Amino acid sequence: MVATVMTREQQVDVVVLGLGPGGEHLATEAARAGLRVVGVEAHLVGGVCPYYGCIPSKMMLRAAGALAEARRVGGLAGSAEAAPDWSAVARRIREEATDDWDDGAAAQRLEDAGVTLVRGHGRLDGPGVVAVAGTRYVARRGVVLNTGTTPGVLPVEGLEGTPFWTNRDAVRAEQAPASLLVVGGGPVGCELAQTFARFGTRVTIVEGADRLLSADEPEASDLLARSFARDGIQVLLGTRLASVRHADGRFTATLEGPDDSLELDTDRLLIATGRTPNLPDIGLETVGLDPHAESVATDGYLRAGDRLWALGDITGKGPYTHVSMYQAGVALRDVTGSGGPEASYHAVPRVTFTDPEVGAVGLTEREARDCGLDVRVASGGLGSRGWLHGPGGDGLVKVVEDRAAGHLVGATSVGPTGGEVLSMLATAIHARVPTDVLREQVLAFPTFHRAVSAVLADLEG
């Protein structure tokens, strides 16, 4: 006799599949608006950001920055000594940031808002339906996908089965390793490389492109490379990880560069080469979508199909918490029928929190030219404030203007507060403020952001 598996069915208003920052926010606000909401999460409520990404990594960077500032005292104010102790960082991350990687408080906030939290791996089971833990939740309004991404793993000979790190492992480190090979010179790789280097780790970065932060302006990459050299970080560009051996607690990596290959021994190996969307096993095929796609296509209201919305990393609009939260607001208005503007991505900011910080918004010069725009470009240093700052005061501002439209379409701000200076540039690009109006603005002296006015003046040519 064949056993019959009974499946329960429940009628709800909205199912949010995946509770990263955007999904958590939408579920909370939809419930507060009076809808019956079910939130489905297989891992931690809040997603990567509070447990393995933004929050713990910035604690690490803050600690590393304090060490760097202590070492600059000799050039500014006498003398100081700093003895790196990673245990203080590990304690803050464990106790203050992640509560030892326990999401109980986040789950309680969600439930207090009126959301029914269901633990488990959910899958779409047709339009407006999610199946999880033996129950089919049928959503009258629809389903919101926020399944996020996981660290990408390279198809490298010998890598599988070794105790290599991803960002998830790096933020849980109990001590700084003696040596670290970082594969990937993007934001995650750069932030973690500089952090560990400043705690005494001997760090090498391997990057396949011809520069660090290849998605940003070349001028920003050059500045960061010089900072890394001062921190003792070895950077190997145009180089790839060809194979890996692990024995006796150490890695031996074979690297292939532009001219030859070499072997490098290291205590730890960090893979920071991007992320993979969590799409193949969530039932996309049941709603007519491709489970093997690189992203979920959405319209201006984040609609991805019949009673289906998608937001966050899986939409391909930027792997940033602030993008997911922004999208959640747009989708929430559509789910609740309250109306509002469509999503716009022409002024999405991003910051790599290295020292110096690298902030960017809109298009790079190359991207603008590739779009066929007739552009004017100007760049310059941080002026008087950069000089006053002394050691660690390197930076630049670069702007890209659409000559015909007469407003900025892209900007980069690098420096001790590069991410903060970026805010005025992001506002200008978002609102399409005429460049002539920006030139009339009075900017306080001596500030880092005053450098923007000098750069705008150079656009006159």
Per-residue pLDDT for the chain (461 aa), expressed as one digit of tens each? 444 455 799 999 999 999 999 999 999 999 999 999 999 999 999 999 999 999 999 999 999 999 999 999 998 999 999 999 999 999 999 999 999 999 999 999 999 999 999 999 999 999 999 999 999 999 999 999 999 999 988 899 999 999 999 999 999 999 999 999 999 999 999 999 999 999 999 999 999 999 999 999 999 999 999 999 999 999 999 999 999 999 999 999 999 999 889 999 999 999 999 999 999 999 999 999 999 999 999 999 999 999 999 999 999 999 999 999 999 999 999 999 998 999 999 999 999 999 999 999 999 999 999 999 999 999 999 999 999 999 999 999 999 999 999 999 999 999 999 999 999 999 999 999 999 999 999 999 999 999 999 999 998 65
Query: Are 59 and 92 contacting, i.e. CB atoms less than 8 angstroms apart?
Result: yes
User: Residues 6 or more apart from 3 whose CB is under 8 A from it?
Assistant: none
Burial class of residue 378, CB neighbours in 10 A (0-12, 13-18, 19+): middle
Instruction: Quote the radius of gyration of the chain (alpha carbons, Å).
Output: 24
Q: What is the DSSP track for 210-268?
A: SSSSTTS-HHHHHHHHHHHHHTT-EEEES-EEEEEEEETTEEEEEEE-SS-EEEEEESE
* Whole-angstrom distance, CA of residue 262 vs CA of residue 240: 11
* Whole-angstrom distance, CA of residue 70 vs CA of residue 81: 7
* Whole-angstrom distance, CA of residue 40 vs CA of residue 131: 10
User: Residues 6 or more apart from 355 whose CB is under 8 A from it?
Assistant: 61, 64, 65, 68, 194, 227, 392, 416
Q: Dihedral angle at the C-alpha atoms of 282, 349, 353, 93, nearest 10 degrees?
A: -40
Strand, coil or helix: what is 367?
Answer: helix
Strand, coil or helix: what is 55?
Answer: helix
Which one-letter amino acid corresponds to residue 52?
Y
Helix (H) or strand (E) segment spanning residue 198: helix 187-198
Q: Is the peptide bond before 280 cis (omega within 30 degrees of 0)?
A: no
* Whole-angstrom distance, CA of residue 27 vs CA of residue 114: 9
Q: What is the DSSP track for 56-97?
A: HHHHHHHHHHHHHHHHHGGGTTS-------HHHHHHIIIIII
Strand, coil or helix: what is 387?
Answer: helix
Q: DSSP state, 157?
A: B
Q: What is the pTM of this model?
A: 0.94
Q: Which residue has the tokens 């607690």?
A: 249
Angstrom CA distances, 361 to 349, 427, 430, stand at: 4, 10, 9
Q: Which residue has the tokens 């193949």?
A: 280
Q: Is the peptide bond before 127 cis (omega within 30 degrees of 0)?
A: no
Angstrom CA distances, 3 to 6, 13, stand at: 9, 32
Closest CA to 438 of 448, 447, 425: 425
Q: What's the maximum distance between 2 C-alpha atoms anywhere in the chain? A: 85
**Strand spans (E) along 22-178:** 37-41, 116-119, 123-124, 129-132, 135-145, 149-151
